[in-house]
Amino acid sequence: MPPALAESSTLPYSPVEVASRFGTPTYVYDAATLRARARSLTGRGATIRYAQKANNNTAVLALLRAEGVVVDAVTAGEIHRALAAGHEPADVVYTADVFDRDAVEALHRHGCPVNAGSPNMLAQLADAGLEHLPVTLRLNPGFGHGHSRKVNTGGTSSKHGIWHEQLEAVLTQATSLGLSRVRGLHMHIGSGSDFAHLHHVCDAMVAAAEAWKAAGGHELEVISAGGGLPIPYRKGEDEPLDLDRFFEAWTEARDRVCAIVGREVELEVEPGRYLAAEAGSLVAEVRGTKTQGEGDDAVDYLLIDAGFNDLLRPAMYGAYHHLEVFAADGRELTRERDYVVAGPLCESCDVFTQGDEGVVQSRRLPVPEPGDLLVIHDAGAYGAAMASRYNGRRLTAEAMVIDGELHEIRAREPIDEQLRYEHIPDQLQ
């Protein structure tokens, strides 16, 4: 018998039920939120291309496909995932700055369009006999922005994209290589950016369209403003997104581009986090509390069974996630305390409450008992997708709430899986 349910006002599921059915830590995604986010973007005259790096679980990809959302793919593995979820090869754009051989093979097999972020990729397409594939050019517009310097993808300190001033030369190169379907421009300046910076992309796109026209390039059929839409991680502090404002700016840029090239040009946007982040949370179990130091210098730790191998964002970017404690037996939690919330890994930075420079911070939370649950909110994007087996940990289970019911969409990895591809040579036996 599962224990009594602890209901939450903010979650569409009971964390206690999740823990008893799937164990912890477990990611839970809400289908209704994913659909609502998709529907807030579709029907506005733009193609919505989901950056599946945010969350490439096939159930998520299938749900978004049913909403008319197409996808990008950064690797052969992501092409494979999109196709397994029912996306058509023509709807999967392979976006990268370098090809690896797996990707070349996948493109041969499936013929997906390519968004090329380096001049070498064009030569490699031609070398591989893939001149016929539709190609867009990812430009680095010379500036970037994001919630952390680690996710800024523009300017000279970013490896991403073809430098904007090289557009003419690259178009000439493409023609001489016999690439017959170079058809679009793409820019992505970073993640969790703000309106001012994303608006700047519109001007850069118009300038790039002028350069395209001047270079006498092929017909310009599509422009993509990339992703990077922010979400309100800090409840009650971060402004909710004014989508109308973004679409107004993007549509106006598209119209200016159409006027420059004298034809209809399709607009694409490519969000990852906006679609998936708020739909997901990570349910972990409280395994203990302890105090380091004494008196005024004392620091209280709340220790959970999820680590940065499960959710890397706080350790990697100092990212903030809203935390909530639930009593496993439904009792009322009346006392509060400032806690540093930490995981089980053998690393000092395995802490979910820290700032940009890795400075450990405390968070005011109800005082739990071991066995209670801690929910990490807004973890649907760049959560499970960035998980690892560090310290011999198993990849986490994932579940989805569909019409009020919980469904497992990825089983917790069995420990044996870790040894599956390892061999001890006879010489060492």
Contact positions vs ligand LLP (CB under 6 A)? 51, 53-54, 95, 151, 153, 188, 191-192, 226-229, 270-274, 313, 317, 381-382
Give me the count of residues in the chain. 429
Tell me the β-bridge partners of 373. 285, 326
14-31: buried (b, 16+ CB within 10 Å) or exposed (e) per residue? Answer: bbbbbbeebebbbbbbbb
Nearer to ligand LLP, 80 or 273 (CB): 273
SS3 content of the chain, % helix, strand, coil (to 5): 35, 25, 45
> Is there a binding annotation on residue 271?
yes
Measured between alpha carbons, how far is residue 146 from residues 74, 272, 409 in Å?
20, 14, 31
Nearer to ligand LLP, 14 or 52 (CB): 52
What 3-state class would DSSP assign to 28? strand
Q: Residue 158 Cβ, how far from ligand LLP at the closest point, in Å?
A: 10
Q: Which is nearer to ligand LLP, 15 or 226 (CB)?
A: 226
Q: Which is nearer to ligand LLP, 80 or 188 (CB)?
A: 188
Alpha carbons 296 and 309: distance in angstroms, whole number: 32
Query: Measured in whole angstroms, how far is the alpha carbon of residue 103 from the centre of its chain?
Result: 20
**Taking the complex as a whole, how short is the minimal distance between the CB of residue 89 and ligand LLP, in angstroms?**
19
Whole-number Cα distances in Å, 185 to 291, 387, 419: 55, 32, 44
The residue annotated as part of the active site, out of 112, 202, 258, 346, is 346
DSSP 3-state of 113: coil
Task: Please check if 268 is assigned to a binding site.
Answer: no
Q: Could you give the C-alpha distances from 137 to 63, 75, 154, 184, 194, in angstroms and in order? A: 29, 17, 14, 6, 24
Residue pair 267/47 in contact by the 8 Å Cβ criterion: yes
- Please list, in sequence order, all residues whose beta carbon lies within 8 angstroms of the beta carbon of residue 105, skipping any fewer than 6 positions away: 76
Say whether 349 is catalytic.
no
- Residue 315 or residue 325: which is nearer to ligand LLP going by CB? 315
Choice between 314 and 366, CB closer to ligand LLP: 314
Query: Is 228 labelled a binding residue?
Result: yes
Cβ-based nearer residue to ligand LLP, 72 or 372: 72
For the bound state, the minimum distance from the C-beta of residue 193 to ligand LLP, rounded and expressed in Å, comes to 8
Which segments of 130-236 are extended strands (E)? 135-140, 162-163, 182-186, 222-224
Output the six-digit token pair for 64. Answer: 């978004």
- Which amino acid appears at position 6 of this protein? A
Residue 2 contacts by C-beta under 8 Å, 6 or more apart in sequence? 16, 17, 20, 21
The residue among 30 and 78 lying less far from ligand LLP, judged by its C-beta, is 78
Question: Phi/psi of residue 348, each to 5°?
Answer: -65, -25
What is the DSSP secondary-structure string of 278-319? GGEEEEEEEEEEEEES-GGG-EEEEEES--TTT--HHHHH--
User: Do the strands 92-96 and 182-186 form a parallel or antiparallel pair, or are they unpaired?
Assistant: unpaired
Q: Shortest approach of ligand LLP to residue 275 CB, angstroms?
A: 8
Please list the residues that pair with 222 across neighbouring strands. 184, 266
347 labelled binding-site residue: yes
- Which residue ranges make up the annotated binding site for pyridoxal 5'-phosphate? 228, 270-273, 382
- Catalytic residue list: 346
Instruction: Write out the binding residues for substrate.
Output: 273, 313, 317, 347, 382
- Binding site: what residues are annotated? 228, 270-273, 313, 317, 347, 382
